[in-house]
């Protein structure tokens, strides 16, 4: 019987951004081999903006934990993607992705995980085609290594510009507005995914942050101050992998596209109805990952929204709360990974939504 790889995914709560106790409990109980961890995604309770240090706090705590179990070099090989902002009813949590030896490969396809890292970027490269091209190369390499031919979700954690980084730049930067740099970095990363997957043929400077007709249907990018490179996680199904986990995705055309959420659930093998996922089926739901972005037109299906005009609450914070509520109503849980800022990640005002579930046992 040929040996394959098997993807393992655990979803655990966090009491605060530095709380790794639930992960430590999995390791102590023998349910998680720390040497097999390849990526950790987290939703932290900060503001999701430039000065959201809950992301860096979580990364620091996770890095120290991983180093205790496997050393600093092993810890550096784990992709750590923290997304700030748990507005509305969203619950802070971690998603721990690990790879272990499997048995016979699943002929129907099983969840496969690929990871990759770009080089560190100079400040003047952030939000520009050089970043997109580096991301594309890393995505292709991750897909090849994981034998993924059709990814359903590509998560990128990317850097942003700070005042200090702008001052240290060797040439003109894409923007001197540090908050705007988040969107440009996310956009360049997403177009890099699109370039790798053939969704676009090239990434031009004038595309990034401007041409919303160009996007990836599976990209999810999150920017943070805690890194200078891009860290990439590719999730798809592969017949070279074993296990009972599977992933599927759909694209929300706007922030209230509930049918798209139901479509992703059905494609992942869950019995999505018009109402909420039944408790028995909900036990097979392992993770939901989605992007949220206010439409640039200021309208949702013809009705005005004020997300861009609110001077008190950032627009992406509104969007996370809105999309999080729509998805939570469908799946019946609030520990879902909703990331704000969907520039070039799905159509304007919408975004990808992916569902990871365990296949139903044969009756």
For the annotated catalytic residues, the residue numbers are 157, 222
Coil vs helix vs strand at 101: strand
CA 340 remoteness from chain centre: 10
Q: Residue 227 corresponds to which tokens in the numbers above?
A: 């890194």
In the chain, how long is the greatest CA-to-CA distance?
64
Q: Residue 22 corresponds to which tokens in the numbers above?
A: 């639930």
Contact in structure between 248 and 267 (CB atoms under 8 Å): yes
Q: Residue 46 corresponds to which tokens in the numbers above?
A: 């900060």
Q: Give the whole-angstrom CA distance, residue 339 versus residue 329.
A: 17
Contact in structure between 34 and 100 (CB atoms under 8 Å): no
Q: Which residue from 213, 139, 210 is spatially nearest to 174, judged by alpha carbons?
A: 210
Q: Give the whole-angstrom CA distance, residue 46 versus residue 120.
A: 25
Q: Residue 145 corresponds to which tokens in the numbers above?
A: 């290594």
Coil vs helix vs strand at 67: helix
Count, residues in the chain: 363
Q: Residues 230, 236, 238, 243: what is their CA dihedral angle, to the nearest 10 degrees? A: 110
Task: Provide the total of helices (H) and of strands (E) in the chain, helices listed first.
Answer: 9, 15
Burial class (CB in 10 A: 0-12, 13-18, 19+), 121: buried
């Amino acid at each position: 019987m040929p040996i394959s790889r098997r993807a393992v995914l655990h979803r655990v709560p966090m009491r605060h951004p530095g709380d790794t106790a639930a992960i430590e409990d999995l390791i102590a109980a023998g349910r998680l081999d720390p040497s097999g961890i390849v990526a950790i995604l987290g939703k932290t309770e900060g503001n999701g903006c430039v000065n959201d240090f809950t992301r860096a706090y979580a990364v620091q705590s996770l890095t120290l934990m991983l180093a205790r179990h496997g050393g600093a070099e092993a810890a550096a090989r784990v992709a750590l993607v923290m997304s700030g902002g748990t507005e509305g009813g969203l619950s802070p949590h971690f998603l721990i992705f690990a790879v272990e030896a499997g048995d016979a490969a699943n002929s129907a396809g099983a969840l496969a995980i690929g990871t990759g890292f770009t080089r560190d970027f100079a400040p003047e490269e952030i939000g520009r085609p050089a970043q997109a091209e580096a991301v594309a190369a890393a995505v292709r390499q991750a897909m090849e290594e994981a034998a993924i031919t059709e990814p359903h979700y590509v998560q990128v954690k990317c850097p942003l510009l700070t005042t200090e980084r702008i001052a240290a730049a060797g040439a003109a930067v894409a923007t001197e507005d540090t908050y705007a740099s988040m969107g440009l970095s996310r956009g360049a990363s997403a177009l890099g995914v699109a370039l790798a997957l053939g969704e676009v043929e090239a990434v031009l400077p004038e595309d990034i942050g401007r041409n919303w007709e160009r996007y990836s249907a599976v990209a999810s990018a999150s920017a943070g101050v805690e890194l200078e490179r891009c860290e990439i996680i590719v999730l798809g199904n592969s017949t070279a992998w074993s296990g009972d986990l599977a992933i599927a995705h759909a694209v929300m055309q706007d922030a209230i596209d509930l049918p798209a959420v139901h479509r992703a659930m059905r494609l992942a093998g869950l019995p999505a109805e018009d109402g909420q996922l039944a408790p028995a089926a909900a036990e097979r739901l392992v993770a939901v990952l989605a992007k949220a972005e206010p439409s640039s037109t200021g309208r949702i299906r013809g009705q005005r929204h004020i997300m861009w005009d609110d001077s008190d609450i950032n627009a992406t914070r509104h969007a996370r709360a809105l999309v999080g509520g729509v998805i939570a109503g469908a799946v019946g849980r609030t520990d879902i990974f909703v990331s704000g800022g969907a520039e070039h990640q799905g159509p304007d005002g919408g975004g990808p939504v992916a569902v990871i579930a365990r296949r139903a046992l044969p009756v």
